[in-house]
């Protein structure tokens, strides 16, 4: 974390310097008040009272100015630190692999990016303000207290060990609990994210009460853990105040005895000593609170560092050269199992080749590994064994941006953003022209319904695309893939919400407008891939058969069963 502070070292230096000035002014106040009492009030010296009073006012104003400047510089440093750290954490999250984001939940990532960064940012603020203030106040207070009388300094020396003992005891008890509190907060964010994103499903099945109880349970757990921490800390303040008040009583007693015996201590000295003692002990108490904040921040910093220091699972290969082939995809003895799973292979010994410009359909039962197969091409995951090649080059050897620029993929779930339809389509190509956006929408069979809207392509889309139907969202997602130049087009069951007529028009337009693009189409319906050059049938993580529709109807029992169930028994006869 220090590297983020170094950038603002000037402000981190100026803030404490001005804080020293503010504290110095505060330390002069009791001494001047003692002068007013002993030499002004008791001696009936009005001139001295006025002159010292003016000096006190000037001292307060100067201290206030120093405090303002300290606050300004401390805020610049802390806000800049938080800004840079939050950007880097977000950038790291954007580069995490699916494997890593699967391990760290979305709710936890949100907590780390927001609450944890704020905790560390506040600690930077406290370090350059509160920590410096109380250190200077403690040392300066001891010196000024000694100036009043060594006996008063001795009283403070007797009380300080007890204050330190209480601080250490309570901080050691609460420090381990801060990590637990942050994890409980992760749980709340996770439930919140899931419930809000799936609000329509919750309402459709009348599960509001269940989600409320789930949230209440997580919130109660957070509240109980926070209460446990705060209950421990609640004892710390009163214990320290008891020591403070006992020290004040001791100062009064020592001062009274000395005055009675004709010693050098005056009433003004005693008043000043009480003020200095309060400053010293309050400073120690506040330091204990600062260390409590440090303990909380340390837990947050560990969680942030877990993200920042996450090793790159998908390592950039660096190849950016021109490939000999253009648009070919090949799997050579590829096997895959999900990291952190039970070790069961999702794909096993997969081998096939897709020629440039060829259309390959992929079909199979649910959980047969279809989506996993195509996720290996743009390196969302890396194959456990074997090789995946694009244009004759192992995908692991590519520069990631170069590899993914070759591929346009439309995923099962259509992800849209809170912006206009045109902006959603041009998401994959920031400099897309209006003509390119419209052309992509026409191929995706989206132009007609877009133009029927009152604002056309400038119609805003609500969060998650809930203002559009499933088929409309899929067509906009397809248009987003088509607006950019690509060699390989992957449809991961991304036409499931389209009727057969619209789907057929889409594939016809694709063949006419993108004849040289290699197409890999995952589908649940045979009608969606019947016209593909070849069809691969996946079964339990392996390729059971591959060939044209006619060939598979003759040679593949699995394909025949799917065909009969969909096109004969289902009634969708061709």
pTM across the whole model: 0.72
In a domain, 408, yes or no: no
In a domain, 111, yes or no: yes
Q: How is 416-453 classified by DSSP, letter by letter? A: --SSBHHHHHGGG-TT--HHHHHHHHHHTT-HHHHHTS
DSSP 333: E
pLDDT of 573: 42
In a domain, 166, yes or no: yes
Three-state DSSP state, 460: strand
How far, in Å, are 46, 346, 562 from residue 18 at the CA level?
Answer: 34, 63, 78
* Counted domains in the chain: 1
pLDDT of 483: 92
Q: What angle do CA 264, 265, 269 make, to 5 degrees?
A: 140
Domain that holds residue 36: 2-174+235-308
Q: How is 89-130 classified by DSSP, letter by letter? A: HHHHHHH--HHHHHHS-HHHHHHIIIIIHHHHHHHHHHIIII
d(CA 61, CA 85): 36
Burial 256-279 (b: 16+ CB within 10 A, else e): eebeeeeeebbebbbbbbbbbbbb
In a domain, 69, yes or no: yes
pLDDT in single tens digits along all 574 residues of the chain? 778 888 888 988 899 899 889 888 988 888 888 878 878 777 778 888 888 889 889 999 998 999 899 989 999 999 999 999 999 999 888 888 777 777 777 778 888 888 889 888 888 888 888 778 888 888 888 888 788 778 877 877 787 788 778 777 877 777 777 778 777 877 887 787 777 767 767 777 677 888 888 888 888 888 888 888 777 777 777 777 787 778 778 877 877 777 666 666 777 777 888 888 777 777 777 777 777 777 778 888 888 888 888 887 788 887 777 767 788 999 999 999 887 666 688 899 999 999 999 999 999 888 888 889 999 999 988 899 999 999 989 999 998 888 988 999 998 888 888 889 999 999 888 889 999 999 999 999 999 999 998 889 999 988 778 888 889 999 999 999 999 888 999 999 888 888 889 999 999 999 898 888 999 999 988 888 988 999 999 988 899 999 999 999 999 999 988 888 876 554 444 4
Q: Say which CATH number the domain at 269 has.
A: 1.20.1560.10
Among 253, 292, 297, 303, CA closest to 274: 253
Q: How is 361-384 classified by DSSP, letter by letter? A: EEEESTTSSHHHHHHTTTTSS--S
In a domain, 486, yes or no: no
d(CA 146, CA 140): 10
d(CA 251, CA 141): 15
In a domain, 377, yes or no: no
In a domain, 11, yes or no: yes
518-522: strand order across its sheet: 407-410, 488-492, 518-522, 359-364, 534-539, 542-547
pLDDT of 574: 42
In a domain, 528, yes or no: no
**Token reading at 159:** 């009380």
Q: How far is CA 517 from the centre of its chain?
A: 37
d(CA 565, CA 552): 15
pLDDT of 176: 75
pLDDT of 374: 93
Q: How far is CA 45 from the centre of its chain?
A: 65
pLDDT of 481: 92
How far, in Å, are 70, 71, 116, 356, 495 from residue 22 at the CA level?
Answer: 9, 11, 31, 74, 68
**Token reading at 120:** 């560390």
d(CA 285, CA 141): 14
**Residue 334 forms beta bridges with which residues?**
350
């Amino acid at each position: 974390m220090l590297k983020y502070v170094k950038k603002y070292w000037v402000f981190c230096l100026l803030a404490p310097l001005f804080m020293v000035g503010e504290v110095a002014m505060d330390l002069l106040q009791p001494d001047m008040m003692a002068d007013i009492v002993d030499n002004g009030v008791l001696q009936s010296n009005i001139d001295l009272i006025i002159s010292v009073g003016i000096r006190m006012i000037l001292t307060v104003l100067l201290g206030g100015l120093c405090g303002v400047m300290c606050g300004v510089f401390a805020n610049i440093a802390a806000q800049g630190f938080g800004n840079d750290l939050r950007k880097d954490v977000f950038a790291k999250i954007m580069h995490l692999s699916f494997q890593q984001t699967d391990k760290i939940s979305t709710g936890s990532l949100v907590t780390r990016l927001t609450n944890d960064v704020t905790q560390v940012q506040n600690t930077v603020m406290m370090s350059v303000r509160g920590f410096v203030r109380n250190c200077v106040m403690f040392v300066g207070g001891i010196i000024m207290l000694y100036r009043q009388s060594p006996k008063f300094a001795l009283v403070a020396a007797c009380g300080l060990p007890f204050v330190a003992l209480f601080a250490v005891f309570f901080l050691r008890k609460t420090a381990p609990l801060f990590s637990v509190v942050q994890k409980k907060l992760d749980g709340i964010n996770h439930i919140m994210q899931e419930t809000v994103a799936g609000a329509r499903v919750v309402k459709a099945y009348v599960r509001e009460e269940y989600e409320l109880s789930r949230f209440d349970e997580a919130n109660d757990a957070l509240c109980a853990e926070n209460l446990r921490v705060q209950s421990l800390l609640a004892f710390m303040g009163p214990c320290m105040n008891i020591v403070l008040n006992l020290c004040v009583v001791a100062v009064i007693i020592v001062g009274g005895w000395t005055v009675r015996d004709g010693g050098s201590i005056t009433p003004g000295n005693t008043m000043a000593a009480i003020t200095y003692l309060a400053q010293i002990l309050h400073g120690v108490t506040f330091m204990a609170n600062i260390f409590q904040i440090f303990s909380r921040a340390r837990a947050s910093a560990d969680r942030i560092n877990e993200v920042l220091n996450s090793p790159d699972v998908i390592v950039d290969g660096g190849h950016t050269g021109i490939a000999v082939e253009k648009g070919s995809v090949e799997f050579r003895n590829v096997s895959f199992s999900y990291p952190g799973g039970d070790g069961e292979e999702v794909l096993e010994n997969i081998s096939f080749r897709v020629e440039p410009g060829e259309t390959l359909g992929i079909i199979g039962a649910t959980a047969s590994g279809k989506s996993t197969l195509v996720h290996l091409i743009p390196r969302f995951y890396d194959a456990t064994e074997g090789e995946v090649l694009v244009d004759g080059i192992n995908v692991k050897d590519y520069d990631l941006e170069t590899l993914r620029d070759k591929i346009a993929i439309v995923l099962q779930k259509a992800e849209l953003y809170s912006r206009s339809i045109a902006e959603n389509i041009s998401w994959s190509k920031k400099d897309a022209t209006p003509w390119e956006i419209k052309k992509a929408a026409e191929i995706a069979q989206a132009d007609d319904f877009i133009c029927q809207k009152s604002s056309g392509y400038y119609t805003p889309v609500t969060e998650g695309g809930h203002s559009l139907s499933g088929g409309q969202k899929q067509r906009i997602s397809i248009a987003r893939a088509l607006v950019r130049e690509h060699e390989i087009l992957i449809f991961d069951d991304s036409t499931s919400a389209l009727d057969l007529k619209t789907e057929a028009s889409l594939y016809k337009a694709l063949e006419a407008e993108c004849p040289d693009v290699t197409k890999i189409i995952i589908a649940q319906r045979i009608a969606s891939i019947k016209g593909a050059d070849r069809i691969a049938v996946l079964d339990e993580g392996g390729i059971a058969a591959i060939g044209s529709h006619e060939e598979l109807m003759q040679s593949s029992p699995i394909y025949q069963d799917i065909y009969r169930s969909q096109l004969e028994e289902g009634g969708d006869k061709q």
